[in-house]
Structure 1
């Protein structure tokens, strides 16, 4: 609960258990008894956090004091009481932020909060298995490989497809783009051209720049009335570039854009890519996981023809930030781009059945990422994820239908998945003033801090975005959020 005191501190309504761990941990390797007590203390605070999550604000970053005295604290040469340190983390650091764990967090693309995933990460970090090379932890690498096989199957990729886990879609797309560059361009780097929707995530252009593609050779392709890449313009642009002596080599389709949730015509893009010998990459960071819902699979026709697919389990599969996946039917493309060896390294695998992840990306050091999702899949079953995703889609459609009944509300497009954008129209004013009023509308909706929406621009017009993908977002909080939105719309009508 937010208490707007002079110090603007955020405190939980429920007091903590008075018992705290006072024994200092002067040794870097605590005894088993100390370790158990510390885990108990952390677990108690995490349980209290989860128990009160529905009463916590959806965002409180603006309560943070950048002049707080603790920011000037000197280097701690001696140990502090663990209980005091944990109280500080949970009381003075965690609250002052956007709260993606909140059921009212409908901003950006949420997803995190799956505690079974956190358990997997805790186990992996404690036992500290090195999974960059198969020989160093063969069972752990095989477990992660098994997870990748499951993901590829769930995404409808050809039998035998695998991939690797990354920090997120930005890194996945960069890795795919470098592999495509090595496959298609050779020494002709400055002639390579990259194609993507004008609604694509900015990380596509960023990855191209990092991969050494000249900015003048980046081609955002115009979209149709539903904000989907126009395959006819893609093909026309590719032909024009070839006639100019350039080397088209990479096209990215999007399965769920961040502005409107649009899904590009993947099958048509795949046909253009095959015809003109382009690497076909799909950015499915937000939307690809929805393919797991049977009634939504037709939206992703053409995904099975991708040369590479980026998806983010830390979005659509509810993991904490930091887990992406790059899935591919042909792992040899990654090995050609990233293989490197040294005398001090363990022997690498020559078999295609066993993966050395360090041979597939720029990373040599990497954590054991696979347990973060393998454990939840095993503990909950994949059906639980399907049901949760179907619920988020249903709630988004429900919200869209309700707001569509307001005569002065304009929708950018119907929700294909769980995201849509809307704005309030006003008569007799210019676009700049209408944009300003919708920005005011967003602030009014977010002011109570029960829900959090974000804004964006579509065609120069300011829209508000609703993205329903938080694990804990259910019908009750959505209805509460809709009431807040409707009240803010009414207030705007009266104010303006």
Structure 2
């Protein structure tokens, strides 16, 4: 056994790099990252690729080791080249992810030290740090002392926890599920539909409340539907409103919906994953007025604070309701219950093992201060209005309503032929070109292009390039002709 242990130890110790090896591999990774950022302005926003990174499979996991240079080459060619480049300021298609450099440093430090930030006993400073981030966001939305929350992987999990909490708070039992009613609109993020399924509420009734011309919930229709449901002895459970829909950036009438939720004693959840951090601006404060009246809120730092993907948050006005919904105990954790000065994230979420994700938010907020974040968000609002004005100078462009936040949609109406086919061709041409990335959507059975301006690297230069490419591609397609069905 002694010889066997020595042999195994020899191999196992290879997992621990010596200082020189650590420095070498870190230097190569840093050089790769710095090169990516240095060239980000010239890199395409989207790359169509025939094999779509398939050659990654040419490097299977094997018994022997591989060198870092080879792995970085494959990473560049098969992972970081094909497809969408969310770090690019020319990506205005989907709601962009951020990728602040200090957040990458924070993730490195969090991974190296590997603090378990789920339980206060395990890492009290880490838990305090994450709770500090949550407290700051609660202050931002106007929640009182006693509010709580959890840093999640994104809006999907935040919305799921919010729905489960609403279910638990109402003491809904399985026998009640088919009589339970959820109110929202067809513009709500599709992760809410997934949350309904995962919360065991597949049998619940989902009422999609009609919207006005700007795709905002019509409160008079909501109020009427609730009365109908109560007369039919159904159980109104939760209202899901949107503070900036992902599709169009629409903001539901938050205050008016709060009036109804309070009057009817229905849980009120606002999905502000995209729009929430616009509260740092005067415009956002006006648009999201009344959000502090919601029982719970979803907000994504990987959107409005430009952090890397995997940075969401759930905020709850009455923190004890979140604790009551999520807290559980285990015998093997009895030592951890000795220290309870602050509530632990593991008691407020389905997650037990978790990344110390709060560090990626805390570090840039401390390094930069709040001022540049506020300025960047104001800039995105103005850039969207600039684009809205300038794109209408292109003959044949039809726009939707003036954007409420930083998302807008439009389409080109050709002199002849089918507009939907033309705009599909237009999107395809833009994607093939790759210099910029726009996305598309369907509204009232019509095909539209959409622009979502929220990358901290997007400035007027990038918006002007998008406008230039639109003119170029419209001219090209028009000259090619034949775009009818």
Distance 1:221 1:55, change over 3 A: same
TM-score normalised over the length of structure 1? 0.90
1:90 aligns with 2:58: no
Equivalent residue for 1:297, pick from 285, 290, 312? 285
Cα distance in 2 for residues equivalent to 1:487 and 1:72 = 39
Gaps of 5+ in 2: 1-10
Cα deviation code 1:405-464 (max 9, x no counterpart): 3452222221111110001124676xxx32222111112233321100000011111110
Report what 1:311 is aligned to: 299
Cα distance in 2 for residues equivalent to 1:237 and 1:353 = 45
Equivalent residue for 2:310, pick from 309, 317, 322? 322
Q: 1:261 offset after TM fit, Å?
A: 0.8
Q: 1:66 offset after TM fit, Å?
A: 5.9
Report what 2:8 is aligned to: none
Listed as ranges, the matches of 1:291-440 within 5 Å are 291-347=279-335, 354-426=342-414, 433-440=418-425
1:480 aligns with 2:465: yes
Listed as ranges, the matches of 1:197-212 within 5 Å are 197-212=185-200
Distance 1:122 1:67, change over 3 A: closer
Gaps of 5+ in 1: 1-23
Distance 1:192 1:216, change over 3 A: closer
Listed as ranges, the matches of 1:107-146 within 5 Å are 107-146=93-132
Distance 1:278 1:488, change over 3 A: same
Q: 1:474 offset after TM fit, Å?
A: 1.0
Report what 2:3 is aligned to: none
TM-score normalised over the length of structure 2? 0.92
1:42 aligns with 2:18: no
Distance 1:37 1:73, change over 3 A: closer
2:249 partner SS? coil
Report what 1:54 is aligned to: 41
Cα distance in 1 for residues equivalent to 2:377 and 2:289 = 18
Distance 1:459 1:158, change over 3 A: farther
Distance 1:61 1:145, change over 3 A: farther
Q: Tell me the C-alpha RMSD between the 2 structures.
A: 2.0
Cα distance in 1 for residues equivalent to 2:21 and 2:189 = 46
1:264 partner SS? coil
Please say if residues 162 and 328 of structure 1, whose CA atoms lie closer than 8 Å, have aligned partners that are also in contact. Answer: yes
Cα distance in 2 for residues equivalent to 1:310 and 1:116 = 24
1:193 partner SS? strand
Distance 1:65 1:363, change over 3 A: closer
Please say if residues 193 and 213 of structure 1, whose CA atoms lie closer than 8 Å, have aligned partners that are also in contact. Answer: no
Report what 1:165 is aligned to: 151
2:349 partner SS? coil
Report what 1:226 is aligned to: 214
Report what 1:189 is aligned to: 177
Distance 1:75 1:446, change over 3 A: closer
Moved more, 282-291 or 211-220: 211-220
1:92 partner SS? helix
Report what 1:450 is aligned to: 435
Distance 1:67 1:258, change over 3 A: closer
1:177 partner SS? helix
Report what 1:17 is aligned to: none
Cα distance in 1 for residues equivalent to 2:279 and 2:344 = 28
Listed as ranges, the matches of 1:7-46 within 5 Å are 27-46=14-33
